[in-house]
Amino acid sequence: MEDRVLIEAAGPYDLGLSLRAATAFSPEGPRGEGPLRLPLRLGGRPRLAEVRQVSTKPAVLEAVVKGRLTHSDREELRLLAAKVVSAHLDPRPFYRLASRHEVMREVTARLRGLKPLRPATVFEMAVIALTEQQISMKAAYRVRRRLVEALGERVNGEYAFPSPDGVAACTVEQLRTCGLSARKAECLIELSRRVSRGEVDLEGLAGLEPERAREAITSLRGFGPWAAGYILVRGLGLADEVPAEDLGVRTVTGLYLGGGERVDAGEAMRLLRPFAPYRGLAAFYLLAHHRLG
C-alpha cells in the first residue's frame, strides 16, 4: 500500500538533471537519474519518500511513501518535498536575463530546467554550513555521513537527518568521534539546545528580510558571513543571495565571467550584478556547469 502527493513546479524543471548536479558536488560524483530518495519526518515519524517527475509540460512531480498517511502528514509531505526540489522557483525570469549575456546564455541553455535541491530543514542546512567551514567538501561530507549514521533514524535503507533534540543530547566527545573539531562540536550542541528550547527559530528566518536573517545567523556562535550567505541561498532558497567568500563561487565566477582566474568576493559580486535578483542562482548554474563538465 502506498500514498502519494503531486507537486507542481513553476517553470521548466528537470529532476534528473537536478539530481545529477546535486550529486556532482559530493565526493561520490554524479549518479544516475533514479528517484530522489528523501527520508523525512512526517508527524514526528521518519518516513522515506521517493520523488519522481511525472510530466514536463507542465512540470509535475510525485512523492510516494509506503503505507497510508493522515491528511496532515500528506500536506507536510507536499510542503517538504516541494521545498527540497525548489518547486516554487521559476527560472524563466533568470533565463531572460541570461539570454543577454553570451556566456550565461550558453550555460543556461545546457542546463535548462536545473534547480537546486535544498535540505528539508534549515537546521540541516545549518549543520551543513558548520561542517563545511574551513575544511574540504570531501572531509565535510565524511563528517556528516558519520553524524547522520550515528544519530539519525534508519528508514528503508536511508537515514533521516538527526533532530535538534537528538544532537542536543550529545556530548562534545560523542560528536568528535564523527570527525567534528571540539569547537564545531560545541557550536553544534549549543545551536541544537537553543533550537530545542525554542530560543532560536531557524525555520522562522524565512519570514525575515534577508539582512535581518543574515544578522540572526551571524549572531549564532560559529556562524560567520560565509555560513550566513550559504544558509540564505540554499537553506532559505533566496535566489539573489551569494556566499561570495566561497572559494568555489570565486573560482567559477572568475573562470566564466572574469579573466579566467579566481577573483575576490567583491569582484565576484560585481561580475554577478547583471543577474540580480538571481545572482545566487547564477552562481549555482556556473558551479553546476563546471562540475558536470
Contact between 231 and 80 (Cβ < 8 Å): no
- My answer on whether 66 and 131 are in the same domain is no
150 falls within a domain? yes
Q: Residue 176 corresponds to which amino acid?
A: R
- My answer on whether 79 and 174 are in the same domain is no
252 falls within a domain? no
Give the pLDDT mean for 263-280. Answer: 97
- My answer on whether 55 and 13 are in the same domain is yes
Selected residue with higher pLDDT from 15 and 1? 15
Reported as a single tens digit per residue, the pLDDT across 115-158 is 999 999 999 999 999 999 988 888 999 999 999 999 999 988 89
Q: For residue 67, give Cα distances in angstroms to 54, 145, 195.
A: 21, 27, 31
Number of compact structural domains in the chain: 2
Reported as a single tens digit per residue, the pLDDT across 22-45 is 998 877 654 556 799 999 999 888
- My answer on whether 141 and 192 are in the same domain is yes
User: Please, which pLDDT band fits residue 182 given cuts at 50, 70 and 90?
Assistant: very high
Q: Residue 213 corresponds to which amino acid?
A: A
38 falls within a domain? yes
- My answer on whether 221 and 126 are in the same domain is yes
55 falls within a domain? yes
Residue 170 sits in a domain whose CATH number is 1.10.340.30
Q: Which of 235, 254, 270 is the last residue of a domain?
A: 235
- Structural domain including 152 reads 122-235
- My answer on whether 152 and 225 are in the same domain is yes
- My answer on whether 22 and 66 are in the same domain is yes
Length of the chain: 293
> Within a 10 A sphere around the Cβ of 89, how many other Cβ atoms?
18
Q: Distance (Å, rounded) from C-alpha 206 to C-alpha 231? A: 11
- My answer on whether 62 and 128 are in the same domain is no
User: Please, which pLDDT band fits residue 8 given cuts at 50, 70 and 90?
Assistant: very high
How much is the pLDDT for 43? 87
**C-alpha grid cell, residue 197:** 528550547
Reported as a single tens digit per residue, the pLDDT across 277-289 is 999 999 999 999 9
The H or E element containing residue 40 is: strand 36-42
13 falls within a domain? yes
- My answer on whether 215 and 129 are in the same domain is yes
pLDDT of 183 above 60: yes
Reported as a single tens digit per residue, the pLDDT across 59-89 is 999 999 998 899 999 999 999 999 999 999 9
Q: Distance (Å, rounded) from C-alpha 281 to C-alpha 142? A: 26
